[in-house]
Structure 1
Amino acid sequence: MTSQDQGMNYRNIIPREFTTEIIAVDDEGRARAEQIIEIYQVLSTDPSIANMRQYLSDDYIQHSTTVPDGPEAIAMLFSSSVAQYPAEIDVHKVMVVGDWAMAHVNFRNLETTDPEDLGTAAVDLYVYAPDGKVAEHWDVLQGVPTHSANPNGMFLKIFKEA
């Protein structure tokens, strides 16, 4: 039996209906997690410069090597995708501790109209400025494969807490 035989076809296990898991240590963290979810909703529906300025600092620092600094760059990047494709962003998990936030997301149909698009899995890291806006962003991206060597999936939570 090959590892592919033991694995899983991703088309069958990417959850389309789910509740975003929020992990926060206090009310401020929960509010920031909700804000991160809002940012993704805006990015997939109306990523205008004005909307991005509501969430991102004017001197927003981008560590992704393909995107310039500033809220304008994010607005232009996502506006182009939203205008051409049926962009969807599934936010699976958001964790916030202090000024740091992490989101585990799946970007689907940002560059294609393929209804079978499995998307790009991302872990986005954010740091907040004192004014409550996002000041910096880092990301790690990975295309979602059609098959996995294990049945766990990239977005499912397998571990059951006692």
Structure 2
Amino acid sequence: MLTNKENAIAFYKMAYEGNPRKAVELYVGAEYIQHNPLVGNGPEPFISYFEKMQAEYPDKSIEFVRAISEGDLVALHTHQVWPGNDEYVTMDFFRFDTQGKIVEHWDAMQQIPDESLNGNTMY
């Protein structure tokens, strides 16, 4: 049996790379509470959002930099590259139910600037 951390990564990767319906079928529980203001509550708005994103930006990529699990929560720190070499750092949080299914999601996203005053990456 996979851990919540492994399931969160598999879910996000599958949805991001163009198969959100299968991701929901495999990894989402009876409810799906969404906190991203650009996506509606429930599985269908999530699926629609990621299907649209895949159709409009098929060449985007994602790298999972860190994954942290505590209790029923998993945090993912990712590096996304979009067309035009737009780069973003994201932090996603998933809450799992007792059956190991995702039932809630929060996220924050920030574009990576061309220059950093501290000389460090955002990872």
What is the TM-score normalised by the length of structure 1? 0.68
Uncovered stretches (5+) of structure 2, i.e. residues with no partner: none
Q: Which moved more, 1:58-67 or 1:92-101?
A: 58-67
Shift of the alpha carbon at 1:151? Answer: 1.5
Secondary structure of 1:147's counterpart equals: coil
Shift of the alpha carbon at 1:95? Answer: 0.2
- Alpha-carbon distance change, 138 to 48 in structure 1, aligned in 2, over 3 angstroms: closer
CA contact (8 A) 1:33 1:95 kept: yes
Q: Distance in 2 between matches of 1:40 and 1:64?
A: 14
Partner of residue 65 from structure 2, selected from 92, 106, 118: 92
Q: Distance in 2 between matches of 1:42 and 1:99?
A: 21
Shift of the alpha carbon at 1:40? Answer: 2.2
Name the counterpart of 2:18: 46
Uncovered stretches (5+) of structure 1, i.e. residues with no partner: 1-27, 156-162
Q: Distance in 2 between matches of 1:122 and 1:48?
A: 18
Indicate whether 1:75 and 2:43 are aligned: no
Q: What are the residue-to-residue correspondences of 1:6-21 with 2, within 5 Å? A: none
Shift of the alpha carbon at 1:46? Answer: 2.9
CA contact (8 A) 2:92 2:108 kept: yes
Larger radius of gyration: 1
Q: Which has the higher contact order (CA 8 A, sep 6+)?
A: 1
Name the counterpart of 1:151: 119
The alignment-based identity, stated in percent, is 27
Number of equivalent positions: 122
Shift of the alpha carbon at 1:98? Answer: 1.1
Name the counterpart of 2:75: 102
Secondary structure of 2:41's counterpart equals: coil
Shift of the alpha carbon at 1:55? Answer: 1.1
Name the counterpart of 1:25: none
Partner of residue 55 from structure 1, selected from 27, 31, 34: 27
Shift of the alpha carbon at 1:62? Answer: 0.4
Structure 1 residue ranges, 4+ long, deviating more than 6 angstroms after superposition: none
Name the counterpart of 2:96: 128
Secondary structure of 2:121's counterpart equals: coil
